[in-house]
C-alpha cells in the first residue's frame, strides 16, 4: 500500500505529520486524504484522529474530497490580478465546463485558486500539478489544456 | 571529506586551455605520493574571473590565491604550503594597483560599489554546481569564521553591521542571535524562514533558486554563532524549483564537508533539513512557522516567550529570513563597517524589491536603503506601462499600504515607510496606474487576509471578515456614508488588539488607502461610482472585438452595427476597454 510505504519513510513523531500528508496526497492519484487514511496516519504517529483532522482542515493544501487527476491552480496574487488583461479563471471555467473548486465529470481536472506563486514578473500564471505556466493568454491556455486532454 | 586544507583548482575554460595539463590530477598525484591525502582535498571549480593570470589555485581556509600555476609548481605548493604551512610567495596573486602580493583575497575592494549584496550571485553562477559558488568565494566566510572567530565575535560582527531582518519586521539580526546564544542549553536551532507568502514578493524564491548555497553557508554561520548544530529551512510547497535546488545544494555541501560533522576540521557540526509549508500565509509569522514545523496547526502564539528563548521543540531558536541570510556571507567577507557604510542611519545595507504591476521593467532590484521610490520606479523600473499616470505603489503586501504620488521622493527605509502608513514588508512593490481602483484593491487584500486568518484571535477572525463585508457592500454600491466610519473604527481596533503581527497589520491596506484616497471611498459610499463599462454609440464601428473578449458575454450587437453592454451583467473587468481599437468604450 502506498500509505504504508510513505509512513515507513518517516519517524513515528508528530513532527512528520505535515510531510507525510503532503507526500501522500501528492502521490495518490485522486489527491485527497480519506477517513480511513486519517485513522491509519493517526495510529502510526500515535496521535488522535482529531489532531490529524485539525491539521488537514487548517492548511489549504490538504483535501478531503476526491479530486481530478490534474489539479489546475490559478494564481490569485495581486500582480496577476492587476496585470492580467484577461480573466484566466473565466477562460478555464468555460473550457472545462466547471467552476472554481469543482472537478470535471471524467475526474481529469480540478480547478482551484492558489496563493501567490511568486512568478509575478511573468503574470498571469497558473500551475498544473508541478508544472508552471506563465505569461498566459487565452490561446495559450487552450493549447495547454488540449495537450493535457490528449497526452496525459 | 574533512581535511585541513581544500585546494580549489580552477576548471574554467580559460585556465583549462592555458595549460593543457590537468592540474587537479597533478595535485592529487603529488598529494598521494607524499601520503598527505587525509590533510587536503582537491576540488575543481568554475571560473574565478581573473583568467588573464590563470591557471588559478585557491587554498582554503587560508583564503589565498596562487596564480599562473604550472605543472612544475605543484610539488613546491604541496611540500611548502600543505606540509610545512609556508606560503609560496612567488606564486601569489598581485594587486594590479599596488603591485603588492595579496595574501588574503579579502583585501580586494570589489564589492564597494556593488549594490547587489543579497543577489550578488544570482544569475552569475550555476546554482546546481557548488564549485561555481566556491569560485565566487563561497564557503570562505564560513571557513574564516570557524578559523578566526569565536561565536561571540560573530554575534558582535552582526550587531556592528546593523543588519536588520529582511522578512518585514526589521528586527536587528545581531540582537536576535545574541538573545538565542545567551540561552542556556546545548540544543538550539537555526530556522530559515522561506515561507514567502506576500502576494507580489518573489525575492526569496529567486535567492533560493539562484544562489542556494549562500543561504546554507549563512545558516551554518548562524549555527556557529548561537551554538546550534541543526538548521531547518521552512519553504512553501508552492516553490518546487527552489526545493529541488536546495536539495541538490545540501547534498553537494555535505559531500564537500561544508555541512555535516566537524566542518573544516573545527569540531563544529551542523546540518540542515527542509520542512515544507502547506499553503498557510500565517506560517510566515515565526511562532506559527514553528508550530507548523512541529506538525501542528500553524497558529501564532503570544510573544514573549520569543522563539529565541523557547522556539522549535521548546528550545532556543533563531528564525531569520532568506534575504537576511543571503547578506551574511558578504558581511563576514567584507566586514561590518563596509555593510554599515551603505544605507541610511537606521537601516543599513540594501533591500531587494520585487517590482510588479503596471511598470515597464518588472523584476527584482536591489538598491541601498534610502533610495527613493521615484528612482526605483522611473530610473530602474523604466517608468509606467504605456506612459499612463502613476497613481500609487502598494508596498509590504497585505500588511502594508499604498504610497501615493506625493510621497514618491521619500527615501525608503524601515522607519520612513512606517511613517507614511506603509511598511517594508518583504519588499513587494506593486505599481498602480490611473486605471486601478483603490477600493477594489483594498477589498482584494482584505479578501486575502480574512481568508488567511488562522482564526485564533477574535479581532482578526471576525474583524477582517466584517471589514471585507463592508468593502464588498461599498463596491456593490449598496453601502452608506456611515460605513466609512465603521470601517475605520474597526480597522483601528483590529490594529490595536489582534494577537500577532499579521492581524495587527491586516487593516493597513484599508487605513492607508482611506488616508490618501478618501474621495474614492466616498464616491462608493455616496453611490456615485458608475461601476460598469459602456459603449459610446457614435464611436463604435461594430468590429465585434469587445464582444469576443467579454468573459461574461454581456456585449451584444452584430457586425458593423454599434454594440451594447448589458450593464446588469458587466463585471467591470476592462477587457473590452483594452480590446477596442477606436476608444469607443467608456470607463466606469
Task: Please indicate, yes or no, if residue A144 is contained in any of the structural domains.
Answer: yes
**Residue predicted with more confidence, A28 or B3:** A28
Looking at the fold, whether B160 and B75 belong to one and the same domain comes out as no
Residues spanned by the domain of A50: 2-58
Average confidence score pLDDT of chain B: 87
3-state secondary structure of A116: coil
Task: Please indicate, yes or no, if residue A49 is contained in any of the structural domains.
Answer: yes
Residue B103: what pLDDT? 62
A4 touches chain B (CB under 8 A): no
Alpha carbon A6 to its chain centroid, in Å, reads 19
Residue B467: what pLDDT? 96
**Residue predicted with more confidence, B477 or B62:** B477
Looking at the fold, whether B545 and B588 belong to one and the same domain comes out as yes
Please give the grid coordinates belonging to residue B293. Answer: 514545523
Looking at the fold, whether A91 and A143 belong to one and the same domain comes out as yes
**Residue predicted with more confidence, B91 or A43:** A43
Task: Please indicate, yes or no, if residue A10 is contained in any of the structural domains.
Answer: yes
**Residue predicted with more confidence, B558 or B217:** B217
Task: Please indicate, yes or no, if residue B119 is contained in any of the structural domains.
Answer: no
B578 touches chain A (CB under 8 A): yes
Task: Please indicate, yes or no, if residue A78 is contained in any of the structural domains.
Answer: yes
Q: Which residues of A touch B578 (CB under 8 A)?
A: 85
Looking at the fold, whether A85 and A24 belong to one and the same domain comes out as no
Is residue B113 scored above 50 in pLDDT? Answer: no
Per residue in B446-502, pLDDT (tens digit) is: 998 998 898 889 999 999 999 999 999 998 888 999 999 999 999 999 999 999 888
The whole-angstrom separation of Cα B425 and Cα B395 is 7
Of B313, B340, B367, the last residue of a domain is: B340
Looking at the fold, whether B239 and B313 belong to one and the same domain comes out as yes
Q: Which residues of B touch A42 (CB under 8 A)?
A: none
For residue B565, give the CATH number of its domain: 3.30.70.20
Looking at the fold, whether B468 and B588 belong to one and the same domain comes out as no
Task: Please indicate, yes or no, if residue B260 is contained in any of the structural domains.
Answer: yes
Is residue B87 scored above 90 in pLDDT? Answer: no
Cβ distance A115 to B238 less than 8 Å, yes or no, reads yes
The C-alpha of A149 sits at a distance from chain B's nearest C-alpha, in angstroms, of: 23
Which residue of B199, B280, B358 is in closest CB contact with A77? B199
Looking at the fold, whether A74 and A143 belong to one and the same domain comes out as yes
Task: Please indicate, yes or no, if residue B457 is contained in any of the structural domains.
Answer: yes
Looking at the fold, whether A35 and A96 belong to one and the same domain comes out as no
Asked if B15 and B69 touch (Cβ cutoff 8 Å), the reply is: no
**Residue predicted with more confidence, B44 or A7:** A7
What secondary structure letter does DSSP report for B388?
P
Phi and psi angles of residue B413, each rounded to the nearest 5 degrees, phi first? -150, 180
Q: How many CB atoms lie within 10 A of CB B75?
A: 14
Is residue A58 scored above 70 in pLDDT? Answer: yes
Residue B111: what pLDDT? 29
Looking at the fold, whether B56 and B23 belong to one and the same domain comes out as yes
Residue whose C-alpha is closest to residue B421's, from B405, B438, B399, B439: B399
Looking at the fold, whether A86 and A43 belong to one and the same domain comes out as no
Looking at the fold, whether A127 and A93 belong to one and the same domain comes out as yes
Cβ distance A115 to B575 less than 8 Å, yes or no, reads no
Looking at the fold, whether B470 and B553 belong to one and the same domain comes out as no
Query: Which of B198, B200, B442, B545 to probe by mutation at the A interface, max A CB count within 10 Å?
Result: B200
Task: Tell me the three-class secondary structure of A6-66, residue by residue.
Answer: HHHHCCCCHHHHHHHHHHHHHHCCCCCCCHHHHHHHHHHHCCCHHHHHHHHHHCCCCCCCC
Q: Which residues of B touch A13 (CB under 8 A)?
A: 295
Residue B27: what pLDDT? 86
Residue B160: what pLDDT? 97
ipTM for the assembly: 0.87
Of B476, B509, B525, the last residue of a domain is: B525
Task: Provide the percentage of residues in chain B whose pLDDT is more than 70.
Answer: 91
Cβ distance B297 to A117 less than 8 Å, yes or no, reads no
A78 touches chain B (CB under 8 A): yes
**Residue predicted with more confidence, B354 or B16:** B354
Looking at the fold, whether B87 and B192 belong to one and the same domain comes out as no
Task: Please indicate, yes or no, if residue A143 is contained in any of the structural domains.
Answer: yes
Residue B3: what pLDDT? 58
Q: Which residues of A touch B198 (CB under 8 A)?
A: 116
Of A67-81, B13-27, B210-224, least confident by mean pLDDT is B13-27
Looking at the fold, whether A52 and A111 belong to one and the same domain comes out as no
For residue A95, give the CATH number of its domain: 3.40.30.10
Task: Please indicate, yes or no, if residue A63 is contained in any of the structural domains.
Answer: no
A152 touches chain B (CB under 8 A): no
Of B294, B314, B340, the last residue of a domain is: B340
Query: Which of B244, B279, B362 to probe by mutation at the A interface, max A CB count within 10 Å?
Result: B279
Phi and psi angles of residue B300, each rounded to the nearest 5 degrees, phi first? -75, 155
For residue B22, give the CATH number of its domain: 3.40.30.10
**Residue predicted with more confidence, B17 or B149:** B149
Per residue in B249-297, pLDDT (tens digit) is: 999 999 999 999 999 999 999 999 999 998 888 999 999 999 999 999 9
How many structural domains does chain B have? 4
Task: Please indicate, yes or no, if residue A90 is contained in any of the structural domains.
Answer: yes
Of A114-123, B123-132, B270-279, B293-302, least confident by mean pLDDT is A114-123
Looking at the fold, whether A77 and A47 belong to one and the same domain comes out as no
For residue B470, give the CATH number of its domain: 1.20.1440.230
Per residue in A131-149, pLDDT (tens digit) is: 888 888 889 999 999 999 8
The whole-angstrom separation of Cα A149 and Cα A1 is 29
Looking at the fold, whether A76 and A144 belong to one and the same domain comes out as yes
Per residue in B157-197, pLDDT (tens digit) is: 999 999 999 988 889 999 999 999 999 999 999 999 999 98
Cβ distance A79 to B552 less than 8 Å, yes or no, reads no
Looking at the fold, whether A92 and A124 belong to one and the same domain comes out as yes
Asked if B434 and B211 touch (Cβ cutoff 8 Å), the reply is: no
Cβ distance A76 to B240 less than 8 Å, yes or no, reads no
How many structural domains does chain A have? 2
B446 touches chain A (CB under 8 A): no
Task: Please indicate, yes or no, if residue B390 is contained in any of the structural domains.
Answer: no
Q: Which residues of B touch A120 (CB under 8 A)?
A: 199-202, 354, 356, 362, 428
Residue B95: what pLDDT? 57
Looking at the fold, whether B159 and B25 belong to one and the same domain comes out as no
Looking at the fold, whether B507 and B541 belong to one and the same domain comes out as no
Task: Please indicate, yes or no, if residue B348 is contained in any of the structural domains.
Answer: no
Residue B49: what pLDDT? 47
Phi and psi angles of residue B538, each rounded to the nearest 5 degrees, phi first? -65, -30
Residue B195: what pLDDT? 93
Return the residue of A nearest to B242 by Cα. A118
Looking at the fold, whether B163 and B304 belong to one and the same domain comes out as yes
Looking at the fold, whether B191 and B73 belong to one and the same domain comes out as no
Per residue in B88-108, pLDDT (tens digit) is: 888 887 654 455 666 654 444
Task: Please indicate, yes or no, if residue A80 is contained in any of the structural domains.
Answer: yes
Interface of B with A in 205-224 (CB under 8 A): 205
3-state secondary structure of B45: strand
Residue whose C-alpha is closest to residue B214's, from B230, B233, B201: B233
Residues spanned by the domain of B562: 530-588
Q: Which residues of B touch A60 (CB under 8 A)?
A: 278-280
Looking at the fold, whether A84 and A146 belong to one and the same domain comes out as yes
Looking at the fold, whether B13 and B46 belong to one and the same domain comes out as yes
Looking at the fold, whether A41 and A16 belong to one and the same domain comes out as yes
Amino acid at each position: 500500500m502506498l500509505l504504508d510505504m510513505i509512513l515507513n519513510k518517516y519517524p513515528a513523531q508528530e513532527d512528520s505529520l505535515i510531510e507525510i500528508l503532503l507526500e501522500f496526497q501528492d502521490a495518490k492519484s485522486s489527491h485527497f486524504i480519506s477517513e480511513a487514511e486519517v485513522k491509519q496516519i493517526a495510529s502510526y504517529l500515535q496521535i488522535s484522529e482529531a489532531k490529524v483532522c485539525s491539521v488537514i482542515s487548517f492548511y489549504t493544501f490538504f483535501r478531503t474530497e476526491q479530486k481530478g487527476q490534474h489539479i489546475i491552480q490559478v494564481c490569485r496574487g495581486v500582480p496577476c490580478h492587476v496585470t492580467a488583461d484577461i480573466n484566466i479563471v473565466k477562460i478555464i471555467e468555460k473550457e472545462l465546463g466547471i467552476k472554481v473548486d469543482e472537478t470535471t465529470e471524467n475526474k481529469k481536472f480540478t480547478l482551484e485558486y492558489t496563493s501567490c506563486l511568486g512568478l509575478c514578473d511573468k503574470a498571469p500564471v497558473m500551475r498544473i500539478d508541478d508544472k508552471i505556466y506563465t505569461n498566459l493568454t487565452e490561446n495559450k491556455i487552450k493549447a495547454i489544456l488540449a495537450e493535457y486532454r490528449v497526452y496525459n | 571529506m574533512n581535511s585541513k586544507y581544500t585546494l580549489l583548482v580552477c576548471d574554467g575554460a580559460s585556465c583549462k586551455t592555458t595549460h593543457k595539463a590537468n592540474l587537479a590530477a597533478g595535485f592529487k598525484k603529488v598529494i598521494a605520493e607524499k601520503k598527505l591525502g587525509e590533510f587536503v582535498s582537491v576540488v575543481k571549480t568554475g571560473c574565478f574571473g581573473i583568467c588573464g593570470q590563470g591557471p588559478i589555485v585557491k587554498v582554503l581556509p587560508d583564503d589565498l590565491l596562487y596564480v599562473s600555476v604550472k605543472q612544475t609548481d605543484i610539488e613546491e605548493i604541496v611540500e611548502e604550503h600543505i606540509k610545512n604551512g609556508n606560503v609560496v610567495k612567488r606564486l601569489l596573486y598581485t594587486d594590479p594597483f599596488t603591485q603588492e602580493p595579496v595574501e588574503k583575497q579579502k583585501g580586494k575592494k570589489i564589492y564597494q560599489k556593488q549594490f547587489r549584496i543579497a543577489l550578488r550571485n544570482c544569475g552569475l553562477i550555476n546554482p546546481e554546481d557548488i564549485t561555481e559558488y566556491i569560485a565566487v568565494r563561497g564557503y570562505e566566510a564560513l571557513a574564516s569564521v570557524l578559523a578566526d572567530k569565536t561565536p561571540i565575535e560573530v554575534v558582535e560582527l552582526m550587531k556592528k553591521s546593523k543588519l536588520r531582518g529582511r522578512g518585514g519586521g526589521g528586527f536587528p539580526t545581531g540582537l536576535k542571535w545574541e538573545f538565542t546564544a545567551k540561552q542556556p542549553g546545548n540544543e538550539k536551532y537555526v530556522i530559515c524562514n522561506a515561507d514567502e507568502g506576500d502576494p507580489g514578493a518573489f525575492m526569496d524564491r529567486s535567492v533560493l533558486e539562484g544562489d542556494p548555497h549562500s543561504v546554507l553557508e549563512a545558516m551554518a554561520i548562524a549555527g556557529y554563532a548561537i551554538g546550534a548544530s541543526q538548521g531547518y529551512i521552512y519553504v512553501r510547497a508552492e516553490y518546487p524549483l527552489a526545493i529541488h535546488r536546495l536539495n541538490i545544494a545540501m547534498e553537494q555541501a555535505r559531500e564537500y564537508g561544508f555541512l555535516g560533522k566537524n566542518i573544516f576540521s573545527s569540531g563544529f557540526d551542523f546540518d540542515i533539513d527542509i520542512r515544507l509549508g502547506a499553503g498557510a500565509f500565517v506560517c510566515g509569522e515565526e511562532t506559527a512557522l514553528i508550530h507548523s514545523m512541529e506538525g501542528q496547526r500553524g497558529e501564532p502564539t503570544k510573544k514573549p516567550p520569543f522563539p529565541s528563548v523557547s522556539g522549535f521543540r521548546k528550545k532556543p531558536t533563531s528564525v531569520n529570513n532568506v534575504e537576511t541570510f543571503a547578506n551574511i556571507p558578504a558581511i563576514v567577507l567584507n566586514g561590518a563597517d563596509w555593510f554599515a557604510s551603505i544605507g541610511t542611519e537606521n537601516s543599513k545595507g540594501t533591500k531587494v524589491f520585487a517590482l510588479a504591476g503596471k511598470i515597464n521593467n518588472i523584476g527584482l532590484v536591489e538598491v541601498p536603503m534610502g533610495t527613493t521610490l521615484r528612482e526605483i520606479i522611473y530610473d530602474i523600473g523604466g517608468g509606467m506601462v504605456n506612459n499612463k499616470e502613476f497613481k500609487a505603489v502598494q508596498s509590504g503586501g497585505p500588511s502594508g499600504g499604498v504610497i501615493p504620488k506625493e510621497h514618491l521622493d521619500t527615501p525608503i527605509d524601515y522607519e520612513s515607510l512606517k511613517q507614511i502608513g506603509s511598511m517594508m514588508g518583504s519588499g513587494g512593490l506593486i505599481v498602480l496606474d490611473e486605471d486601478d481602483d483603490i477600493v477594489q484593491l483594498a477589498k482584494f487584500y482584505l479578501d486575502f487576509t480574512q481568508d488567511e486568518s488562522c482564526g485564533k484571535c477574535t479581532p482578526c477572525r471576525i474583524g477582517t471578515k466584517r471589514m471585507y463585508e463592508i468593502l464588498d457592500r461599498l463596491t456593490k454600491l449598496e453601502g452608506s456614508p456611515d460605513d466609512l466610519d465603521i470601517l475605520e473604527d474597526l480597522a483601528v481596533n483590529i490594529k490595536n488588539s489582534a494577537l500577532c503581527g499579521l492581524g495587527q497589520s491586516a487593516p493597513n491596506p484599508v487605513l492607508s488607502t482611506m488616508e490618501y484616497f478618501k474621495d474614492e471611498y466616498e464616491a462608493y459610499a455616496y453611490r456615485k461610482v458608475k461601476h460598469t463599462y459602456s459603449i459610446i454609440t457614435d464611436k463604435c464601428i461594430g468590429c465585434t472585438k469587445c464582444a469576443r473578449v467579454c468573459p461574461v458575454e454581456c456585449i451584444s450587437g452584430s457586425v458593423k452595427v454599434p454594440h451594447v453592454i448589458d450593464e446588469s451583467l458587466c463585471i467591470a473587468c476592462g477587457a473590452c476597454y483594452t480590446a477596442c481599437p477606436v476608444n469607443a468604450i467608456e470607463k466606469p
